[in-house]
Amino acid sequence: MRHYHIYQFTTTSEEQKDILIARLMAIGFDGVEETAAGFTTSVETTGFDADAFNDILQQIPAAFTCRTEEEQNWNSRWEEDFQPVSVGDFASIRASFHPIPEHVQHDIIITPKMSFGTGHHATTWMMIAQMQTLNFNGKTVFDFGTGTGVLAILARKMGATAITAIDNDEWSINNAKENFTINDCQGITLSHAETPPRGVFDIILANINLNILVTHMRALADATVSGGLILISGILTTDETDMRKVMEMNGLNVVSVTHRNDWCCIKAQKRDG
C-alpha cells in the first residue's frame, strides 16, 4: 500500500503560493488543491527528498501542517471535495456524479484522484483555454505528463486522430487510463515514461514544470513537425523570459503568451528547416 505525506500550507500572498507550488512540483509533489488560506498538496513517502523540501522552505518560508495517509483515504477526501470546472462555454471538467452542463462544447468526465490536471489550477485552465485556438482535426498529438489525461481527452474530442500520452507516475497512468475509458476516447497510446518518444507530432502539449521543460525542450522540438505547435505551461511569470529564450534556442518561435494569476502559458511554432 502506498502512503503519502499530505501538506497543508498557509501562504501570505498569491505570489508566495504560486512560487511554492512550482518549486514543490519540481521535486515530486502533486495533486494541488488551492484554498482560501493557501493550498494542500501531497507527495509519496517513498522517495521523498526531505533535504530538497527543507531547502525550498528556507528560500520560501511558509507555515504548514503534515499528516501521512494511505492513498485510498486521501483519494476519498479528494473526491468529496472535487468541484466542476468550466473554461467558458468551451469545455467543462466534472466528475460523473455532477450534473451534465448545458451549452458546453466539450464535456469531460474524470475520476478525481490525486493526479495533477483537474482543471482547477491556473496552468491546466490556461492549457485548455489555449487549446481552443488550435485546430486538432486529423492531427497527431503528444501529451507530455498527462496526469489525469484531461488534455489528451480534449484533444481527442477536438478531432485529433492519433495521441501519445506519457507520465512517470503509475498512479497517473492508471487514472488516465480510467478517464480515457469513461470518455470513450479511442486512439490514445498511453505509457509509463519520463522522456518524449521517438516520432514526429503536429501538436505537443506539456503542462509540467520549468525544470522538466528546460531539460527536455530539445527533444520536444525534435519531436515536432516543421511548422508544428508546442503549447506549454507550469511556468511562473518570473521564469517566462528564460523559457522563451530556451524555446527560441531550440528552433521554436513564440506565437503568444497568456497569463493567469502568477502563471503563464506559451504557444510556440517550430521554425521551418
Q: Report the range of poorest mean pLDDT among 1-10, 22-31, 109-118, 262-271.
A: 109-118
| pTM score | 0.81
Q: Going by DSSP bridges, is the β-strand pair 85-87/63-70 parallel, antiparallel, or unpaired?
A: unpaired
pLDDT at 112: 66
Q: Is the pLDDT of residue 169 over 90?
A: no
pLDDT at 42: 86
Q: Is the pLDDT of residue 114 over 90?
A: no
Length of the chain: 273
Contact between residue 107 and residue 100 where contact means Cβ atoms under 8 Å apart:
yes
Residues 4-34 pLDDT 10s: 898 999 998 888 888 898 899 889 887 777 7
Q: Report the range of poorest mean pLDDT among 20-29, 34-43, 110-119, 234-243.
A: 110-119
Q: Is the pLDDT of residue 109 over 90?
A: yes
Q: Report the range of poorest mean pLDDT among 42-46, 65-69, 167-171.
A: 167-171
Cell of 22: 512550482
pLDDT at 195: 87
- Percentage of the chain surpassing pLDDT 90? 60
Q: Which range, 26-30, 185-189, 244-248, has the best average confidence (pLDDT)?
A: 244-248
pLDDT tier for residue 55 given thresholds of 50, 70 and 90: very high
Residues 220-232 pLDDT 10s: 999 999 999 999 9
pLDDT at 250: 96
175 vs 14, 106, 135, 180, CA distance in Å? 29, 20, 27, 9
Contact between residue 120 and residue 134 where contact means Cβ atoms under 8 Å apart:
no
Distance (Å, whole) CA 191 – CA 146: 10
Q: What is the DSSP-derived secondary structure letter of residue 137?
A: T
How many Cα atoms are found within 13 Å in the side-chain-facing hemisphere of 20? 27
CB neighbour list of residue 188: distance below 8 Å, 6 or more residues apart: 149, 152, 153, 156, 163, 164, 165, 180
pLDDT at 113: 66
pLDDT at 189: 95
What structural domains and CATH numbers belong to the chain?
3-79 (3.30.70.920), 118-270 (3.40.50.150)
pLDDT tier for residue 85 given thresholds of 50, 70 and 90: confident
